[in-house]
Structures are given as structure tokens and as C-alpha cells.
Amino acid sequence: MGVEVVLLGTGSPLPDPARAGPSTLVRVGGRTFVVDVGRGVCMRMAAAGVLPLMCEAVLLTHLHSDHVCDLGDVVTTHWVMSQAPTPLEVIGPRRTGEVVAGVLASLAPDIAYRLAHHADLTWDPRVDVAEVGPGIVRDDGTVLITAAATDHRPVEPTLAYRFEHEGSAVVVAGDTLPCPGLDELCRGADIYVQTVLRDDLVSLIPMPRFRDTIDYHSTVDQAAQTAAKAGVGTLVLTHQVPSPAPGSADEWVEVARRHFDGTVIFGEDLTQISTP
């Protein structure tokens, strides 16, 4: 059995009625993981046949708001659907604990109301936080998860994750420029999921804060170059910035094909990709 990837959300920070916020589901070795929890993640999880209670862990690439903004919904849904006290594991870079503490503080009134109303709900939501850096995140003999440092400065630290099982490998990267850590993590991967930006389009937007995004995201060209250098089988373009115009998918793919002769997939919400 290989590794399955489902793009739960492929949107950017700006709301898009067709795209949820950045989030990627990975099914590997009979386990389910979610990388990043952007806007609308629980709705997209339900559409993919998964609920938060079915996930072994949430992994965060970084702590930008668009990648974590629905963590509260994941925590609450996991909690109220549990039949007994069941921790939700959240793995991420330094300061993840700070974000989780803030989320739980924001939920304090709701938690109190539900405990007061439901006689069979007698425990607070429990979130187990693991702040990690580059290296092995999990290795149980069946599934190996490795993290590598990426470059999204001034946002730091930031991480990408590699999932391995029975000879198959998938890399899920968040917002990052090309960097040595990403190159090494992607080496020989079957699937490489990368958030991407079209600098030729963003540079036309007459607002500095939008043009600023060019200097800390991989362009489509750069993602394709990373995939080619690492010998990746399939490059998946997600979290496309700016929001793609209807019917423009082929245009994005053609940009990537200038540098990469493997399979290129333009991500839409609920796109599914599997390793052989």
C-alpha cells in the first residue's frame, strides 16, 4: 500500500469561494495526518471522508495565520466527537505551544458552556504539543516522518515534512524559498507538494504588501527546479498565489514544465494523488 495525498485546501490568504485555506491530508501506513489547518479545513476533511478524531496528528509547517486559522475548529470538533478523553497531537516548529495556548484560551467560554450543558462531557479538550526541528519526527517501524528546515524568513523557524512507508515517499512543504533543507528532503520523493506563486502576476498588483510576497515564496519555476534537482516523480502545485483565474490551470502547469519533465498536477481542493 502506497501513500495517498488529498489537497484539503489550496487557497491563499485571500478568501476564495472555490478554495479552502492551505491544508494537506496524508494517508500512510493505515494512519491519517493533516499538514496545516487553514480556513475551512474541517469541511474539506468531511468531504474527504475524514474527521479530526480519525487523525493521528496535525503537523504545522509554520505559524502564519492562513496555515493555522482553523486549528480551533479542529480542536473543538475532535473534542466534542470523542467518547472518552482523547488527546489531539499537534506537531510544529518553535512557538507552536504558544499558538495552541492562545487557541484554547479563545475557546474557554465555549468549553465552559459545553461542560455545563452536556452531562456526558466531563473533560476539557486536551492538546499534546510537540515542538520539533529538523530530523526524525516519528519512526514506528512502519511510518517514518522527517522534518527539514525551510526558508520563509522573516517567518522562522519553518518546516517541511517527508512521509515514508514501504519504499514510497511524499514531501509536503509549506511557504518557502528553495533551500538546501528542502532539496535534501525531496531527494527521490514520489510526490512533492509545494505552495507556489506566479511572480509575473503578483508583480502587476499595485500594492507593496502583495508584491512583498515574491521574496519569500517559491515561484512555480523555482518549485519545478527543486523537483527536477531532487529527482521527484510528481510535482503538485498548491496554495497558488494569486488566486488562479478560471481555466488557467494549463498555464501554471506549462510554466513548471519549462524546468521539470515529470508529472505536474495543478491542485484544486480535494485533488487526490497516490504513490504507486
Q: Is the pLDDT of residue 203 over 90?
A: no
Taking the C-alpha atoms of residue 71 and residue 90, their distance in angstroms, rounded to an integer, is: 10
Active site residue 66: yes
Q: Is the pLDDT of residue 1 over 90?
A: no
pLDDT at residue number 276: 85
Provide the residue ranges of all domains of the chain, joining segments of one domain with +: 3-268
C-alpha Rg value of the chain to the nearest Å: 18
Q: List, for residues 211-266, the tens digit of each pLDDT value.
A: 888 888 999 999 999 999 999 999 999 999 999 999 999 999 999 999 999 999 99
3-class SS at 257?
Answer: helix
What number is the average pLDDT over the span 115-138?
A: 97
Give the phi and the psi of residue 244 in degrees, each rounded to 5.
-65, 140
pLDDT at residue number 201: 87
What number is the average pLDDT over the span 145-169?
A: 97
Amino acid at 166: E
Cβ atoms of 158 and 150 within 8 Å: the answer is: yes
3-class SS at 275?
Answer: coil
Q: Is the pLDDT of residue 205 over 90?
A: no
Q: Which of 16, 36, 66, 175 is catalytic?
A: 66
pLDDT at residue number 129: 98
Taking the C-alpha atoms of residue 219 and residue 198, their distance in angstroms, rounded to an integer, is: 6
pLDDT at residue number 100: 98
What number is the average pLDDT over the span 73-97?
A: 97
Q: What is the mean pLDDT of the chain?
A: 96
Cβ atoms of 24 and 237 within 8 Å: the answer is: no
| Partners of 133 in the β-ladder | none
Q: List, for residues 36-70, the tens digit of each pLDDT value.
A: 999 999 999 999 999 999 999 999 999 999 999 99
What number is the average pLDDT over the span 169-195?
A: 98
Cβ atoms of 194 and 223 within 8 Å: the answer is: yes
Class of domain 3-268: alpha beta
